[in-house]
Amino acid sequence: METWSAATLSDFLDRSRDYGDQYYAAWHMLAMTGLRRGELLGVRWGDLDLDTGRAAIRQTIVAVKHATEFGTPKTAKGRRSVALDPATIAVLREHRRVQLEERMLLGSGWRDHDLVFTKVDGSPIHPERFSREFDRRIERWSLPRIRLHDLRHTWATLALEAGVHPKVVSERLGHSGIAITLDTYSHVTPAMQHDAAATVAAMLTRGR
């Protein structure tokens, strides 16, 4: 598992935005939610409530023999609701505005699946193509090489390091249980233990 620092992730997103990258909104949402690739590509506008800041994960897109197919999360935990931060909501609103303009220009050629992230004609983005586009940007901008899936690991690592409770991280990632989260991100727990020890010790010291 390889992850980016918060600074590197911010650098990637800033470059994507400033470059006018067609996938900027997708990279942003992926980085800020910890979603899996197929979950992100399967999100529909009907799954989003931008007023309350929630995304319902109900549909996925998978590659089957080089073709895209619609599916559903494999487990009950995978079918979940994910909170969206204000910056991500703003990015999605702007993405929606641009997409509607493009749809009007294309007219009857638009293939309506209600997807948030699409190819230029509204059809689903192939998951493998999405990963290749991520790899191209890393190479173009000379950033530390990680896999697209490592953006998910990056979000979880940053969240745990920031003190987000592992139970919350587990639910957001759609893990079947907190044990999977703790095992997967065991490299973060030593620092968490040190912080916990220092926090409790400080509380007891103040109480004397």
Per-residue pLDDT tens over the stretch 135-186: 999 999 999 999 999 999 999 999 999 989 999 999 999 999 999 999 999 8
Q: How confident is the model at residue 194 (pLDDT cuts 50, 70, 90)?
A: confident
Instruction: For residue 42, give the nearest of 116, 132, 120, 149 by alpha carbon.
Output: 116
63 pLDDT more than 80? yes
Give residue 208's pLDDT: 63
> CA 51 from chain center: how many Å?
19
Q: Identify the structural domains of the chain with CATH numbers, from first to last.
A: 6-148 (1.10.443.10)
Percentage of the residues of the chain whose pLDDT score is greater than 90: 85
Give residue 26's pLDDT: 98
Pairing of strands 60-64, 54-57: unpaired
Give residue 70's pLDDT: 96
Spatial separation of the C-alpha atoms in residues 58 and 75, rounded to whole Å: 11
Phi-psi region of 58 (alpha: psi -120 to 50; beta: other; left: phi over 0): alpha
